[in-house]
A and B are shown apart, each in its own frame.
Chain A
Amino acid sequence: MDIGTTGVAARTVEGVKVYGAGDLEVRALDRINVSFDAGRFTAIMGPSGSGKSTLLHCIAGLDELTSGDAYIGEQRLGALSEKQLTLLRRQKVGFIFQSFNLIPTLDARENITLPLDIAGDDVDKEWFDTVVATMGLGDRLTHRPNELSGGQQQRVAAARALVSRPEIVFADEPSGNLDSKATDELLSFMRRAADEFGQTIVMVTHDPMAAAFADKVVFLADGICIDEMAAPTADSILDHMKSMGG
């Protein structure tokens, strides 16, 4: 892995996130330093409560660090106003959540173009078609979310995350609610997005099979980054987890 040639898409420096106060204080992130390479597909793994989602939220501009800094590209998020953060998410970031990714009143096409429509930007027709074709959604565009299967819904969400050509896409357990076939489809599409479009993707997962689709796995525990693994496979991840657990 050569960081020098690909550059860093997002990173944190001594990131701390504290919830609550006094006895109830929880340090979800504890001076964490982590960076995500541009053009790569990175997976974040760790036990439940280790701070994966918190990290994702803070680095994506959905939440603020208590101290330390988070960057997207060279932009320090702490320096931005609420409004600027919103615009940053709109222009530079794509999201895929575990569930409730789509607006129920809009059809699939409208859901995909939602960030562009909100911004009032024109949809790049060619790119839209490419993304939709890649996601295999061509015949589903006029369906509303309740007419789509869970897997299709997540692919629509993935298409939405890609269609505005964000600098980075964040996904928090996107396959958490999917069966294995749908999971496989979704992750293959994400893999192709990284390979074919050079899309930077950061994905939280607790599933080694899912993480195996990534270029690199970052392991979190108790709010810090304890290890990284390049070119992972499901077996190597499992072994690694066992060694950590033991």
Chain B
Amino acid sequence: MLKMSWKGVLAHKVRLGLTGLAIVLGVAFISGSFVFTDRMSSAFDDLFAGSTDGIDLVIQEGGSLGFTAGKVPEEILDQVLAVEGVSQAIPTVQGFAQMIDKDGEPIGGSGPPTFGFSIDAADFETTMTSFVEGRLPESGEAMIDVFTARANGFEVGDSVDVIFTTGVETLEIVGTIGFGDADNMLGATVVALDLSDAQRLMGYQGAYASISVVADPGADLDQLRSALQQAVADPDVEVVLAADELAEQLEQVDTVLGFFNTFLVAIGAIALFVAAFLISNTFRIIVSQRTRELALLRAVGATGRQVTVIVVLEAFIVGVIASAIGIGVGVLLAVGIQGGLEAFGISFPSGGLVVKFRTVAFGMGFGVFFTMISAIIPAVRASRVPPVAALRETAVGFSKPLRKRVIAGVAITSVGLVMLFAGLFGSFSKALLVMGIGAGLTFIGVAVIAPFFSRGFGRIFGAPLPRMFGVTGRLAQENAVRKPRRMAATASALMIGVALVSILAVLAASAKTTIKGAVEDEVIAEYQIEARGFADPTSTGVSPALKASLATVPGVEFVSSYRVGPYLEEGGSTTLYLAAVDDVLDKVIRWDVLSGSYADLAPGKVMVDADWAADKGIGVGDTVTIEPREGHPVDFAVAATFSSDLFQGVPIVMSLADFEQYYSLGLEAMVMLKLADGVDAEAIRPALETLVDEYPNVELSNAAEYVAKTAGQVDTFLNILTALLGLAIFIALMGIMNTLALSIFERKREIGLLRAVGMTRRQVRRMIRWEAILIAVFGAVIGLVVGSLLGIAIVYGIGSGLVLTMPLGTLAGYAVFAAIGGFLASLWPSYSGARTDLLEAISFE
């Protein structure tokens, strides 16, 4: 039977080819993301492993979150050196440092970190840092990474301006460094400084970020660890094995990469889901075109079940071949992405791509699963072909009454919606998976109902065609709807992609309106200063030095700011964010303080979001326990509850004094300026800009500019996601192309007849083209409707002040794009349709 299936595949190579291509694309995306994230992960492994190669123990302030380091008091160094078994103790400091290029533009800052650290001759032996040229820096000097030096034309002997938390510093470049054999650390820019400069510039007066210990050869590390822990009097300082610390850091990186990977795999799965529609449709059409062949099999004694197995095996063969190719393409994709990143200045340590068994298993599994699942219905239908069909000329139509379909469709959609929203708003494990399955069922349900609307749609939306193109348009309109199920299945694939991007568009538009409203309602300040572009406020921001100098500008009444830092709930593992504010932020931002008062905020106390507090059943006077550093819970008394649209998603606000104690990042997330009464905001702006210009990593904006900037960022997110979903849309358009090509094949004689009675090739192409456009627009319209409804439901579901906004222009744009997509998808079928061999088509055998 495998042989029969194999022959079936060979006989329909071309038709299955396009189907296979859809699988290839989906699998390539999935396996490519696995290979790439594995590569990233191994690069980080190398980086971190290399960065502590020769080091045995690390002394640091307990716990860490992300990349923020704690502080170890200087005097501990001597205590450490006094312990027997310690060969070397190398103090290190690291922190924010961003270079400015020769044109005054900041280098890096949107993506990989920009940081600085102290460097010691021992580092070249004990860490991955490698010496390239020049010499070690003394005060006022720096070594920088080779990549940055080369990319920005810096030579040894040049000077470079560097932004630190304490201000902008001009340093002389005395050398360059690399990392293993890579020119930079996965795109991070690095400034290596003399230890005391590093302490001064990165806010470590009298302290280090950590002390690396090299043990005497043969020393027992566990014993040494205990000895050191005893020698170090400070309870906040801990001594850990370098290997443990490394493992923990890698775990954090892998968690982040894991999210990234899950996200990409989800996109790939969406693409395969869409591909499943295409596959299902192709098999259905092939089965109906092979009715006579299958009936013949039945007539010579094959059971219905055997016929089913033959078709399913065909799907299996297609799935295996396409998935295998997809995995190969995925590897190439990963190579391409790495190459692209390297071109963009993200240098990878050497070491090739690894294709893990898991990658192959997932790629194969997804690809074969989706192919076979989608062939099952057509396969079962194939088994119902009666033997007598072998003797009949026409294909047997399988049709269930539409009414039954609608009932089934509504039922599936309802179940899907329930799961979708349960997953979206429920907080249980696997919520995401439930949501995904719910979304899938919703789409399937809609696809099941869709044929019910095919004819009506064709009548209404196709109405202009006969008027525009006479009988050619009339035929396009008729052809589009002559097989309502086929049209609906084809259009539904496109519907999914369009629905997803429509949901995103609705969410993005609503978010933008909400932000605009929040800024207009809550911001009192005339100006704000914030990092440029997409900046992570927990790793970059505005230097407090700039804040201080802005305060001295005549006409500025006062300056306020807030910072943002990561924290965990007690015992939790999900990184959350809190804000830290100074005592006048309530005069530049309108807070709705519901109980307690802003003025009560003091060290040891926090303000909490009122809804969050209500959820937890706490109020003013109660205690909340959080972990600003992992594993180090701290109690805070609730001083006030607030409600704020600007601080949406930030449930805890602490005092700046507390923040400085728990976090080493000494940068403001945002600085806000309040001008004195009667000062013309435009007139004072040049004076402010002059100061801000010294820090090219940040920019000054007024309320309108700030809104525009944030809206721009939302749009960027939207565009990235939309581009990724473009894969699903592309596959759907391939589906239109495939269905169309198959339909044209079925209508060969009809087209031949039309050509015989005088239809020109150009008219044939036009007829096919408009059929494709109608199908595409049908898919787009259902997608827009479904997407908008889901978008609206999600916006209301999220609540929390989100203002629903329908991006009508964008949505209309999607319909136009879909029409253009349909046109492109029709190019090949219409070309080949127009070349239909006239005689073959009309001759009677």
A106:B838 contact, CB within 8 angstroms: no
- Given A97-B844, A106-B475, A89:B749 Cβ within 8 A: no
Is A134 on the interface with B (CB-CB < 8 A)? Answer: no
Is A188 on the interface with B (CB-CB < 8 A)? Answer: no
A residues within 8 A CB of B793? none
B758:A103 contact, CB within 8 angstroms: no
Return B482 CB to nearest CB of chain A, in Å: 6
Return A20 CB to nearest CB of chain B, in Å: 14
Instruction: Compute how far the CA of A160 lies from the CA of B754 in the bound complex, rounded to whole angstroms.
Output: 12
A residues within 8 A CB of B472? 118
- Given A105-B478, A110-B471, A82:B758 Cβ within 8 A: no
B758:A90 contact, CB within 8 angstroms: yes
Contact with B along A52-66 (1 / 0, CB 8 A): 010001000011000
B844:A103 contact, CB within 8 angstroms: no
Return B604 CB to nearest CB of chain A, in Å: 80
B residues within 8 A CB of A117? 470-471, 474
Instruction: Compute how far the CA of A86 lies from the CA of B760 in the bound complex, rounded to whole angstroms.
Output: 6
Instruction: Compute how far the CA of A97 lies from the CA of B756 in the bound complex, rounded to whole angstroms.
Output: 10
Return B19 CB to nearest CB of chain A, in Å: 27
Is A101 on the interface with B (CB-CB < 8 A)? Answer: yes
Return B479 CB to nearest CB of chain A, in Å: 7
Instruction: Compute how far the CA of A53 lies from the CA of B756 in the bound complex, rounded to whole angstroms.
Output: 14
Contact with A along B474-508 (1 / 0, CB 8 A): 11001100100000000000000000000000000
A99:B754 contact, CB within 8 angstroms: no
Is B516 on the interface with A (CB-CB < 8 A)? Answer: no
B758:A91 contact, CB within 8 angstroms: yes
B residues within 8 A CB of A101? 753
Contact with A along B801-845 (1 / 0, CB 8 A): 000000000000000000000000000000000000011001110
Instruction: Compute how far the CA of A53 lies from the CA of B844 in the bound complex, rounded to whole angstroms.
Output: 10
Closest to A63 in B: B839
Instruction: Compute how far the CA of A110 lies from the CA of B473 in the bound complex, rounded to whole angstroms.
Output: 13
**Interface members, chain B 309-359 (any A CB < 8 Å):** none
Instruction: Compute how far the CA of A24 lies from the CA of B754 in the bound complex, rounded to whole angstroms.
Output: 31
A110:B474 contact, CB within 8 angstroms: yes
User: Most A CB atoms within 10 A — which of B749, B750, B756, B839?
Assistant: B756
**Interface members, chain A 49-103 (any B CB < 8 Å):** 53, 57, 62-63, 82-83, 86-87, 89-91, 94-95, 97-103
Is B701 on the interface with A (CB-CB < 8 A)? Answer: no
Return B459 CB to nearest CB of chain A, in Å: 13
Is B755 on the interface with A (CB-CB < 8 A)? Answer: yes
- Given A105-B482, A114-B471, A117-B471, A95:B750 Cβ within 8 A: no
B residues within 8 A CB of A115? 757-758
User: Most B CB atoms within 10 A — which of A62, A102, A118, A119?
Assistant: A118
A residues within 8 A CB of B843? 53
Main secondary structure of the interface of B (DSSP, over half): helix
B residues within 8 A CB of A63? 838-839
**Interface members, chain A 168-182 (any B CB < 8 Å):** 173, 176
B residues contacting the other copy or chain, number (CB 8 A) = 25
Is B761 on the interface with A (CB-CB < 8 A)? Answer: yes
Contact with A along B603-634 (1 / 0, CB 8 A): 00000000000000000000000000000000
A residues within 8 A CB of B395? none
A residues within 8 A CB of B761? 82-83, 86
Is B514 on the interface with A (CB-CB < 8 A)? Answer: no
Is B759 on the interface with A (CB-CB < 8 A)? Answer: yes
Instruction: Compute how far the CA of A91 lies from the CA of B758 in the bound complex, rounded to whole angstroms.
Output: 8
**Interface members, chain B 731-782 (any A CB < 8 Å):** 749-750, 753-761, 763
User: Most A CB atoms within 10 A — which of B754, B760, B761?
Assistant: B760
- Given A103-B753, A117-B471, A118-B471, A89:B758 Cβ within 8 A: yes
Instruction: Compute how far the CA of A106 lies from the CA of B471 in the bound complex, rounded to whole angstroms.
Output: 9
B residues within 8 A CB of A95? 756-757
Return B844 CB to nearest CB of chain A, in Å: 5
A residues within 8 A CB of B471? 106, 110, 113-114, 117-118
A119:B758 contact, CB within 8 angstroms: yes
A105:B756 contact, CB within 8 angstroms: no
B839:A57 contact, CB within 8 angstroms: yes
A62:B839 contact, CB within 8 angstroms: yes
Return B597 CB to nearest CB of chain A, in Å: 76
A90:B750 contact, CB within 8 angstroms: no
B760:A87 contact, CB within 8 angstroms: yes
Closest to A54 in B: B839
Is A47 on the interface with B (CB-CB < 8 A)? Answer: no
A100:B475 contact, CB within 8 angstroms: no
Is A4 on the interface with B (CB-CB < 8 A)? Answer: no
A62:B758 contact, CB within 8 angstroms: no
B758:A98 contact, CB within 8 angstroms: no
A residues within 8 A CB of B753? 97, 100-103
User: Most A CB atoms within 10 A — which of B472, B475, B749, B758?
Assistant: B758
Closest to A86 in B: B760
User: Most B CB atoms within 10 A — which of A62, A101, A106?
Assistant: A62
Instruction: Compute how far the CA of A82 lies from the CA of B754 in the bound complex, rounded to whole angstroms.
Output: 15
Return B747 CB to nearest CB of chain A, in Å: 9
A residues within 8 A CB of B757? 89-90, 94-95, 114-115, 118, 160
Which of B475, B479, B842 contacts A97 (CB under 8 A)?
B842
B758:A86 contact, CB within 8 angstroms: yes
- Given A103-B754, A105-B482, A117-B471, A62:B838 Cβ within 8 A: yes
Instruction: Compute how far the CA of A89 lies from the CA of B755 in the bound complex, rounded to whole angstroms.
Output: 9
Is A104 on the interface with B (CB-CB < 8 A)? Answer: yes
Instruction: Compute how far the CA of A208 lies from the CA of B635 in the bound complex, rounded to whole angstroms.
Output: 109
Is A120 on the interface with B (CB-CB < 8 A)? Answer: yes
Instruction: Compute how far the CA of A57 lies from the CA of B573 in the bound complex, rounded to whole angstroms.
Output: 79
Instruction: Compute how far the CA of A173 lies from the CA of B750 in the bound complex, rounded to whole angstroms.
Output: 18
Instruction: Compute how far the CA of A89 lies from the CA of B380 in the bound complex, rounded to whole angstroms.
Output: 46
A118:B842 contact, CB within 8 angstroms: no
B residues within 8 A CB of A160? 757
Instruction: Compute how far the CA of A90 lies from the CA of B754 in the bound complex, rounded to whole angstroms.
Output: 10
Closest to B393 in A: A99
Instruction: Compute how far the CA of A82 lies from the CA of B474 in the bound complex, rounded to whole angstroms.
Output: 24
Return A113 CB to nearest CB of chain B, in Å: 8
Return B503 CB to nearest CB of chain A, in Å: 36
B residues within 8 A CB of A105? 475, 478-479, 482
A residues within 8 A CB of B482? 104-105
Contact with A along B50-91 (1 / 0, CB 8 A): 000000000000000000000000000000000000000000
Return A85 CB to nearest CB of chain B, in Å: 10
Instruction: Compute how far the CA of A86 lies from the CA of B470 in the bound complex, rounded to whole angstroms.
Output: 18
Return B335 CB to nearest CB of chain A, in Å: 47
B759:A86 contact, CB within 8 angstroms: yes
Instruction: Compute how far the CA of A120 lies from the CA of B756 in the bound complex, rounded to whole angstroms.
Output: 16
A residues within 8 A CB of B758? 86-87, 89-91, 115, 118-119
A residues within 8 A CB of B842? 62, 97, 100
A118:B759 contact, CB within 8 angstroms: yes
Closest to A113 in B: B471
A residues within 8 A CB of B478? 105-106
Return B411 CB to nearest CB of chain A, in Å: 33
A89:B756 contact, CB within 8 angstroms: yes
Instruction: Compute how far the CA of A102 lies from the CA of B758 in the bound complex, rounded to whole angstroms.
Output: 14
Return B483 CB to nearest CB of chain A, in Å: 11
A residues within 8 A CB of B750? 100, 103-104
A118:B756 contact, CB within 8 angstroms: no
Give me 30 A-to-B residue pairs in the complex whose CB atoms sit less than 8 angstroms apart, sorted by A's number: A62-B838, A62-B839, A62-B842, A82-B761, A83-B760, A83-B761, A86-B758, A86-B759, A86-B760, A87-B758, A89-B756, A89-B758, A90-B758, A90-B759, A91-B758, A99-B844, A101-B753, A103-B753, A105-B475, A105-B482, A106-B475, A114-B757, A117-B470, A117-B474, A118-B471, A118-B759, A118-B763, A119-B758, A160-B757, A173-B844
Q: Which 8 A-B pairs have the closest CB atoms?
A: A90-B758, A117-B471, A105-B478, A98-B844, A115-B757, A86-B760, A118-B759, A89-B758
The interface of chain A, by Cβ under 8 A from chain B, is 53, 57, 62-63, 82-83, 86-87, 89-91, 94-95, 97-106, 110, 113-115, 117-120, 160, 173, 176
